[in-house]
Structures are given as C-alpha cells and as structure tokens.
Structure 1
Amino acid sequence: MSGKLRIAVARLWHEAHSFTPVQTRLADFRRKEWQQGPATADFYRGTNTEIGAVVELIDSDGDLDVHFSLCTAAPPGGLVPQGEMDQIHEAILEGLENGPWDGIYLSLHGATLSTGSLSPDADLINRIRTLAGPDIPIAVSFDMHACINPQLADLVQILSGYHTYPHVDMKETGHRAMAMLLDCLRNKRPVRLHLRHVPMLPLSHMMRTASGPMRELVDLGREAMRKPGILDATFFASFTYADSPHASAVVAVTADDEADTETLLDSLASAFLERAPRFNAPVIRAHEGLTRAEALLENGSGRGPVALIDTADNPLSGGIGDTTGLLRAWLEQSSHLRTVFSFFHDPALVAKCHRLGEGARISVDLGGRIMPEHGAPVPLTVRVLRLTDGRFHNVGPMENGMAVDIGRTALLEAGNLRLVVSETCQSVNDPAWCDLHGIELAGVDLFLVKAKNHFRAAFEPFCRALIDIESPGPSPADLHLVPYRHVPRSLLD
C-alpha cells in the first residue's frame, strides 16, 4: 500500500418538497448527475461544486488516493419512492466496500425525503458508519437548508454547510469539509461535531446573505471560527416545505475533541433566535407587482428588464412549474410591454411543439394540469418560435461550469409575449438559458419567472429591478397554509 491517504467520496443531493404530487424519480437523478468511478473527476473538474473542490485537491495534492462512489443529484422536487432511494443507497454503499479507508467525505443536501423514511440522509450515514467502523473520520457537507437529524452528532466528526444564499460557495464548502478531514488525518487531530437545535423555522425568502439577518449570522460563524479549537461554525436554516420532524434551525460547530463549545453554542443559538422576526417575508400579489414594474419602466431610469419573481412556484423550492396566477394577472392587465415568461413544465406540450415544428400555430392550455387548485389552465393561441434540446453549460456563479439538461423546450410567442415550456421542472437560474432560447434581455421589458433567490445570483446584474411576488402555489410564505404532519406547529409561531 502506498503512503497516500485513501479517501472515499460519495454524493447524494436532493431537496424534498412534501406537498407536491410529483415524485422525484431515479431518472431525475440520472439526468442531472450520476457519476461513479474515475470518470467522476472529469465530469466535475472545473465546476463550482463540492465535488469540483475534491477534484481540485486531487489535481494539486499528490498524497491523496481518492475513490469515487456514486455521486448523484436531482433537482428539488417531491418525495423519492423508497425503492428508488434504496437503489441509490445501495449503489453508494457498494462503492464504499473497497476499503479500508483513511477517511470518507459525503456531499449531501440534508433535506432528502423518501416515501418510506423521514430521514434518508441519516439512514445512509448510519449504514456508512457501520461499514467504515467507529474510528474512521467522516466529513459531511450540507446545503444551508438541511433538516438535521440530531443522530448526526454521534455518526460523523465533521460538518460544514453553505455560507451563501444564493449558494455560490459550493466549491468553498467542499474545500472546507475536505480541509478539516485532511487536517484530522494528517495531524491525528481528534475532532467532534456539536449540534444545537433552535426552535424556529425561518423562511428562505429573506435569507439572502448579501445583507440582512443571515449575513449577520454567517459573519458571527466566521468570527467563531477564529477562536482556538473551533474548526467550523455553520448556521443551518432548514427547509420549510420538507415535512420532517427534524425541520428546525440548527447551529453546527466542529471543534477539537476537548474544546468547550457550550458557551459558543448558547451564544450562536441565541443570535439565531433573536433574528427570527426578520425572516418574515412581505407578500406582494401579482397585480401589485406588475403595477410596480410598469411604474419603474415608465420612470426610465436603469437598464434591462424588471423581473417579477413568483416565489410560490419556485422549482428550487420544489415547485411544480404549473401555477398560472402570474400569467393570468399579466393577461388581465393587457400589458403592452415586451415580456418573457419562464416557464411551464409540460412534457406533452413540448412533444407536440417538436412534432409540429417551428412556425406552427396552435391553441394551448397552459398550466393548471398538476395542481389546478393553484390556478386553472390559461387558454392561449401561440406560434412555435424556437425549439431546443435543453442542454447548456452554466456560465453564471451558481454551479458554474456544470452541464445542464432541462429536457427539450419550446419557445412560444403570442403578440408581445414569449413563453417557454419545458420537459422538466427547472427554473431559469443561469444566463446560458437565455442564450439557449435566443433571448436578449436588453430587448425585454418584463421578465416573469418562477424562481426565488438563486435567480438573483446570475440575473441581478442584467435587470433594472427585481420584485418578489407570490401567486397561489405549493410553496407559500404563510407556513400556516402548509398541511404539516411532522413539523411541530410551535415552530410556526
């Protein structure tokens, strides 16, 4: 055996929305990310992702012998059928059997749910711990919106999470987790994970880290990491639409084994809790947002379109890409403005458009097919303006360099409205999406999008203004409207 450190790496990234009828299937994982073995490095090399960080270390550190088990991810969406979650777990475990390992790194989301488990992440880590034995250090990275099972403190030694929202620090997070793991191994440094649950369930609407309460918390965490013996301090905000008994804010501290962390945990948890009211989001309805946008455009200041962001059907919050409130409001106001609408998820309509070809004129019913309680279909006569294969590479800051496949799409036109329908439910979060559809934002007045905070990372520089609105949808800001079964109602007050 060489003197290199043998590190096993695996990834399972999916954020579950418990209240959509559209399940996340194995095919969704295979379409987005499904890599095993040596080819994994080539897939992630140069990408702003956690595994991209691992590949950078491989390329720069000759003392690492890294083995990739399954690395997979799917876009946020409904629960994963238990049998298919089991297949993913088994594939990851099979790839970890070729031990012994000096250490293990797991890139996880932390808010995964399946039809048969309220804590699939903990299920997987439990099995990995059994396979690895009690002494092998395990490092985990989570999304900021993880629902953290308290068992984790007894299963892994190292935990870090995203410090930015929009999540543009995925690679940095992977580097932090790996740096702690390698420090632990090379310096024989025993470390422990400490968790403190905070009785609150903050909305992600007001969680952007450019400023505001989450920015302040991230700064407090970084200040804590300058204290002796503190390797990492991360604030996890949970995911409000995952119906999990572990849905709660959490402070996580990775520290030297002998470090006294109680006072620090008390302080950080109190800082989180005292900011709870500042996470409440003001709700603006579609008509009001459109009126504000028209006023901004008439004012003439600034450049680019005004973006109206419909947060309640945001695919990266598990939205369905099917609600109709924003489009209906635009039609009712008879807007004369040059408008792009993104998007509707409708595989059958996309197939029809591709069959008829560009230039075809058709009558369509848009949206309202999955959860019509959030808005009836909108009838419209359109022309098929452009057809695409839905493939591009991200050029913006989030997951920069990653190959993206949103399935086939169709760009439809009705007067001054251009509207995209797609085969999969993925929001526009990268300028390459515009290039794919031949959309020049300089020639757009209104950009109507089903999205939330991640949209801002790439598009804020191109827009005159961004206005969050909420039409009826599966991810409302008022959590009292969400039919929880497992989340304690006390967290909502």
Structure 2
Amino acid sequence: MPAPRRIAVARIWHEANSFNPVATTLDDFRRREWTKGKEALADARSTATELGGLAGFLDDHPHWDVTVSRCTSAPPLGPVTRDACAAITREILEDLQAGDWDGVYLSLHGAMVAEGDLSPDYSFLTALRRAIGPDPLLAVSFDMHACLDPTLVGVVDILSGYHSYPHVDMDATALRALSAMERAFETGVRPRIELRQLDFLPLSHGMRTDAGPMAELVAMADTECAAEGFEDVSLFGGFAYADTQNTRAIVTVTHLPDRDPAPAIARLSAAYLARSGDFAITLPDAPTAVAKALADLDAGAGWPIALVDPADNPLSGGIGDTTAQFRALVEAAPDLPTVFCFFFDPGLVARAHDLGEGAAISCGLGGRILPEFGAPVPFEGVVERLTDGRFRNRGPMEYGRQIDLGRTAVLRQGQMRVVICETCQSANDPAWCDLHGIDLAEVAIFAVKAKNHFRAGFQDLCSQIIDLDCAGLAPVDLSTLPYRHVPAEFL
C-alpha cells in the first residue's frame, strides 16, 4: 500500500465579461454551486466535472486522505464584487493554512476578473502558496479560455487545461493533474511548468475542437506530450471578453526536470501563430440567418434548425436580454412551431408565476438592461408553463450536474414559445427542453442565446445549426468593445 497522502481540495470557477454591467455577487456563487466537505464529493460523483473526476480518482487511490474546502462557481456575468471574492478566498485560505498537506488540488477557471483585481486567480494562488508553504505540491486545472499570468510558474507545480471545446473533458482534466501529483509522490521528483504567452487573441467562436485550427493544435499538443514524455501539454485561448493584460493565446508544458520543454514549446507556439488567421470568422446578421432557416425549411430541411446568437451567450458573459434575434423572428412571422430561448427577466418571471398557467399576459421582452442592444419587443400571449428551474444534465458537458435556473416561465403567442428565466444561464443540455415540456422533434426553429457549448448537447438533435451575428457583449468584432488592457493589435 502506498504511503498515506493528506490532500486539500478547493474550487473557484468563474469567467468574467469585463463589459457586463451586472456584477457577480456571492449570491450568484451560492445559487450555482456552493458545497464543501464530503457533500461536495457525494454531489459530484459520476458527473463529468473536475470534482467528479476527483471522486473517481479517490476510488482507485484510497491512501489519499482528502479534505474538501469551499467549492463554488457562478455564471459568467460581470466582474466579481470585491466582497464576494474576498469571502470565498478567505474561507479557503483559513481552511488550508493550518493543515500539514502533502498536496493541494485546485479547480480554477482562470478568467475571473474582480473589482480592483484583473487577475484574482493568480492573487489567490500566491496567497495560497504563502499559506501552505513551499513544500506541498500544488496542482491546478484550468478552463481552455483561462487568462494565465506567466508568473504562476513560480507558484504552481502541475497545470492542466481542458483539451476539448465544448468542454466535455473536465473530469479528464482533473485526472491528468491528480495523476501527475501521484507520480510525483511516488518518485519524489517535483514537476515544473513552462508557459509562453503569444501575441494574438484567438476568437473563441472558431475554437471548437471537433474540427478546424484548435482541433489540429490540440492533436499536435497531445502528440508532443506523448513523444516527449511530459506530464501535460495544454493550449489556452484566453477569454476574449475578459479585458486583462493576460488575455491571449498561451502554450503550457508540465514536465519533469530531466525533460527539456523548449523545443516543443517553440514548435507549438509557431504552429499556433501560423494558424492565427484561421480563428477569424464572419456570421450573417439575424434577418439573413432567419431567412436562410425558413428557406431551408421550405425546401424540406429536417426539424429543428437551431439559430444561435453567440453575442448574447450567457457563457460568454452575455446579459440574456438583447433583442435583435427575437425581433428578426417576430418580423419574419414564421407559421411554424418556434421556441425562443431565452430572456433573463426575474421581474417578468415573478409576474408570470403570480398570474398562473393559462393566464393572459402582455409585456415587453428584452431591452431591460442595455437598451442600446435593442429596445423591448411587445408581446401578447398566455402563460403556458411554469417551472422551478431545476434539472440534472443528461448531455455530455457537465453530465449529471444539478442545474438551478431559478424559476422559469414559458410564454406562448400562436406557434411561438418564449422562455424567461430568473437567472442568466445558457440552455446547453437537452434536459432544459425536458423541463420546459419542449419536444424538439415538434419544433421547426429553435432560437437560442448560446455558442459552441450548445453543440455538445444539441448537435445530434438539430438538422443544422446556424450561428448569427447580433449586437451584444460577446461579439465577433472585438473592436466594437472598449478594451483598456488587451493590446489594440490583438483586436
């Protein structure tokens, strides 16, 4: 039996859109994920998440004695409030500073921005290293869109990022980091990290790993990792809507001291830069996309066709409130079953619940937070369905995780159904449809505020997916946003 290991675990997962005026509060973290101790592992077991990966790892490594501190995440709204950031990090630091740890594993996103701090993930890591001292191994997993401060190589021993987008390998990413830590315990050899920032910012719209430039680069990275005997090779794209000095493409290698990562870093950096232009895309505007969908349906295309608006995607920090896509649908007036997902409007949800199912409702949809992205669209209809907003994912991304949207309501006007929600969260899992009584086989047009993660759950359920370009906080044209810290030449 291997020697016992005392391991501490914590998680802070948040991606901030610097241009979103809705601050991320402690309540946002508490609603999405707020767990600790044995409950955290029990809740995560068999889920496709980092903590799910940890739970499975511990089944095979019973000599690991794990203490789970605060584990939390929040939807990608605006920057995290100073108080929320301090409360979460203070709790974890207090839990860990008194322990005699062999190692610490952290699940971080890497693109958090907080009030007064453009790199709170790094601030937390440096504070944690001071708290635990120089000896414990520190392993961290990050999202592919992390904005990594290069000086973290002096703080962290093991680093691994998601290798897939949509992110269906969260559990596998944790396993890579945890397995590297176990090998270090067994051999007594401490890994090192090499990190290189590149002078460009890839557009995440073109970063899917099923095909295209990122698929090619991830395959190259996997080949380099296996050929050179590294612990991990991960590529990062930065989160384009987090306005920080570290928002850019990044190449990382976790390696043992007897392995030279420089040639591999150079090869991967050159390949990444050579493909920089391949990440750029153009998209049709909303009226053009709606017209194409209707023409294809008239020509016999299968149901449904998905119309995807990435500029107001909640997982890119969108506000769930822009109206260009919805207005284009209303003006086209398709005589076909249509679902629009969604508008973030807690007040309207409360009103619908007060009225009850079957009641008539007259309201304006959208245009509530930033009217410059579209005025409210008048709506006359009925309250068709009310829900508590809770379901469990059954698709491949974060499979098995419990979701809480807050209360929701389905409004109907003729053949158009519109979902409104108390929180701003993407509909990226088929169980979202189950909750709202939506059978996609009976829907011709499925219009969503989403981006690439939508494809993980819905690619096989839609005859086609048409991305479109609207005004919003996560646009294709980055030059339309008022950046202060990302170099102008990246935009």
Normalised to the residue count of structure 2, the TM-score between the two structures is 0.98
Map of 2:327 onto structure 1: 328
Q: Is the 8 A contact 1:326 1:471 kept in 2?
A: yes
The AA in structure 2 aligned to 1:195 is L
Query: How far off is 1:51 after superposition?
Result: 0.8
Q: Tell whether 2:88 aligns with 1:88.
A: yes
Q: Deviations over 1:416-450 (max 9, x none)?
A: 10000000001110011101010000110000000
Query: How far off is 1:58 after superposition?
Result: 1.6
Q: Deviations over 1:89-114 (max 9, x none)?
A: 00111221341111111100000010
Cα separation, 2, equivalents of 1:38 and 1:326? 44
Q: Deviations over 1:291-321 (max 9, x none)?
A: 11112212214x3300000010000000000
SS of 1:219's equivalent in the other structure is helix
SS of 1:466's equivalent in the other structure is strand
The AA in structure 2 aligned to 1:406 is L
Gaps of 5+ in 1: none
Gaps of 5+ in 2: none
SS of 1:226's equivalent in the other structure is helix
The AA in structure 1 aligned to 2:227 is K
Across the aligned residues of Structure 1 and Structure 2, the Cα RMSD in angstroms comes to 1.0
Q: Is the 8 A contact 1:50 1:173 kept in 2?
A: yes
Q: Tell whether 2:399 aligns with 1:400.
A: yes
SS of 2:385's equivalent in the other structure is strand
Q: Is the 8 A contact 1:367 1:378 kept in 2?
A: yes
Q: Tell whether 2:451 aligns with 1:452.
A: yes
The residue correspondences of 1:183-194 to structure 2 (distance < 5 A) are 183-194=183-194
Q: Deviations over 1:5-51 (max 9, x none)?
A: 11111100000000011111111111111111121111111110011
Cα separation, 2, equivalents of 1:381 and 1:132? 59
Cα separation, 2, equivalents of 1:231 and 1:40? 27
Query: How far off is 1:359 after superposition?
Result: 0.7
Cα separation, 2, equivalents of 1:97 and 1:460? 45
The residue correspondences of 1:222-237 to structure 2 (distance < 5 A) are 222-237=222-237
Greater Cα shift, 154-163 or 59-68: 59-68
Map of 1:114 onto structure 2: 114
Map of 1:363 onto structure 2: 362
Q: Is the 8 A contact 1:68 1:95 kept in 2?
A: no
The residue correspondences of 1:370-389 to structure 2 (distance < 5 A) are 370-389=369-388
Q: Tell whether 2:342 aligns with 1:339.
A: no
Query: How far off is 1:472 after superposition?
Result: 1.1
The AA in structure 1 aligned to 2:418 is L
Cα separation, 2, equivalents of 1:261 and 1:57? 28
SS of 2:269's equivalent in the other structure is helix
The AA in structure 1 aligned to 2:80 is V
Q: Tell whether 2:264 aligns with 1:260.
A: no
Query: How far off is 1:228 after superposition?
Result: 3.5
Cα separation, 2, equivalents of 1:187 and 1:67? 23
Cα separation, 2, equivalents of 1:41 and 1:478? 41
Cα separation, 2, equivalents of 1:326 and 1:304? 19
Map of 2:483 onto structure 1: 484
The AA in structure 1 aligned to 2:404 is D
SS of 1:471's equivalent in the other structure is coil
Cα separation, 1, equivalents of 2:229 and 2:217? 20
Runs of 4+ in structure 1 off by over 2 angstroms are: none
Cα separation, 2, equivalents of 1:294 and 1:379? 23
The AA in structure 1 aligned to 2:125 is I
The AA in structure 2 aligned to 1:191 is P
Query: How far off is 1:263 after superposition?
Result: 1.5
The AA in structure 1 aligned to 2:214 is M
The AA in structure 1 aligned to 2:452 is N
SS of 1:364's equivalent in the other structure is strand
Map of 1:160 onto structure 2: 160
Map of 1:12 onto structure 2: 12
SS of 1:23's equivalent in the other structure is coil
Map of 2:468 onto structure 1: 469
Q: Is the 8 A contact 1:103 1:185 kept in 2?
A: no
Cα separation, 2, equivalents of 1:115 and 1:97? 25
Cα separation, 2, equivalents of 1:129 and 1:184? 18
The AA in structure 1 aligned to 2:417 is R
Identity of paired residues, percent? Answer: 51
Map of 1:293 onto structure 2: 293
Map of 1:429 onto structure 2: 428
Cα separation, 2, equivalents of 1:297 and 1:62? 56
Cα separation, 2, equivalents of 1:175 and 1:289? 41
Map of 2:438 onto structure 1: 439
Cα separation, 2, equivalents of 1:32 and 1:185? 34
Q: May I ask how many residue pairs the two structures share in their alignment?
A: 490
Map of 1:238 onto structure 2: 238
SS of 1:112's equivalent in the other structure is coil
Cα separation, 2, equivalents of 1:283 and 1:375? 19
SS of 2:349's equivalent in the other structure is helix
Map of 1:142 onto structure 2: 142
Map of 1:27 onto structure 2: 27
The AA in structure 2 aligned to 1:47 is T
The AA in structure 1 aligned to 2:434 is D
Query: How far off is 1:135 after superposition?
Result: 2.5
Cα separation, 1, equivalents of 2:462 and 2:148? 36
Q: Is the 8 A contact 1:6 1:103 kept in 2?
A: yes
The AA in structure 2 aligned to 1:401 is G
Normalised to the residue count of structure 1, the TM-score between the two structures is 0.98
